[in-house]
């Protein structure tokens, strides 16, 4: 997994993904008048969602403007699959399928990675064994952030997008009721509910 972002490869992958998913708009249009809603939902999660999910920790770690056309296309596919009008709120499209928009899907996968490093690092490559540290390992002061991940200083936007920094920032913003979960299966479920609810705020 790439640790730091390189925007030009991101653009290339986003372009490739956009062209790959664009062809499904016609297929969804043709099927929505004959197929049952559950069939269209199954198709979305079989042929669209896995494409978006693959490598999302890396390719979605870029400016939103670079992802805009892919975001719009995904919204369109959801709207067609659910036979919704243009007036339907985007957030409702994601809620009905209990899925996340691209930016939150990226955050979700980054947070799942941090959780693995924090609770199950023996299952990861050795390079990630000490990838994140809690504040109590760095210093012994009993501050309010004592149990949070230590956030190292960065001096550029490039550094701010580094997974080591961004992962800590996102993790520390979560409520303790989620960060205290040591089961990865339970964490994924609770985290998804939490991020889905955040769309409504």
- Residues 6 or more apart in contact with residue 44 via CB below 8 angstroms: 77, 78, 81, 97
For range 60-76, the mean pLDDT: 93
Residues 43 and 56: their CA atoms lie apart, in Å, by 20
Distance of CA 67 to the CA centre of its chain: 13
Q: What span, in angstroms and rounded, lies between the C-alpha atoms of 48 and 40?
A: 11
Q: What is the pLDDT of residues 90-139, one digit of tens each?
A: 999 999 999 999 999 999 999 999 999 888 877 788 888 788 888 765 55
- For the segment 4-25, the average pLDDT, to the nearest whole number, is 78
* Domain spans in the chain, listed from the N-terminal domain onward: 7-99, 105-198
- Going by C-alpha positions, the residue among 17, 80, 15 that lies closest to residue 50 is 17
pTM of the complete model: 0.86
Burial class (CB in 10 A: 0-12, 13-18, 19+), 95: middle
- How far CA 22 is from CA of 13, 30, 69, 110, 149, in Å, comes to 14, 14, 10, 26, 40
Average pLDDT of the chain is 87
| pLDDT of 144 strictly over 90 | no
CB atoms within 10 A of CB 3: 11
Q: What is the pLDDT of residues 39-65, one digit of tens each?
A: 999 999 999 999 999 999 999 998 888
CA–CA distance, 10 with 164 (Å, rounded to integer):
18
Spatial distance between the Cα atoms of 180 and 190, rounded to a whole number of angstroms: 11
- As given in the structure block, the two tokens for residue 151 are 């956030």
Is the distance from CB of 100 to CB of 195 less than 8 angstroms?
A: yes
């Amino acid at each position: 997994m790439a640790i730091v972002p390189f925007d030009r490869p991101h653009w290339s992958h986003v372009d490739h993904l956009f062209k790959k998913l664009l062809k499904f708009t016609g297929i969804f249009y043709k099927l929505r008048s004959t197929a049952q809603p559950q069939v269209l939902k199954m198709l979305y999660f079989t042929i669209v969602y896995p494409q978006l999910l693959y490598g999302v920790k890396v390719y979605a770690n870029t400016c939103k403007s670079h992802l805009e056309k892919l975001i719009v296309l995904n919204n369109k596919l959801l709207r067609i699959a659910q036979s919704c009008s243009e007036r339907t709120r985007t957030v409702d499209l994601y809620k009905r399928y209990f899925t996340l928009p691209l930016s939150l899907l990226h955050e979700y996968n980054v947070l799942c990675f941090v959780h693995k490093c924090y609770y199950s690092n023996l299952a990861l490559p050795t390079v990630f064994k000490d990838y994140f540290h809690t504040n109590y390992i760095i210093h012994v002061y009993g501050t309010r952030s004592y149990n949070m991940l230590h956030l190292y200083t960065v001096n550029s936007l490039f550094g701010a997008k580094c997974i080591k920094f961004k992962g800590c920032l996102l993790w520390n913003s979560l409520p303790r009721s989620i960060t205290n979960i040591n089961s990865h299966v339970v964490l994924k479920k609770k985290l998804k509910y939490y991020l889905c609810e955040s769309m409504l705020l």
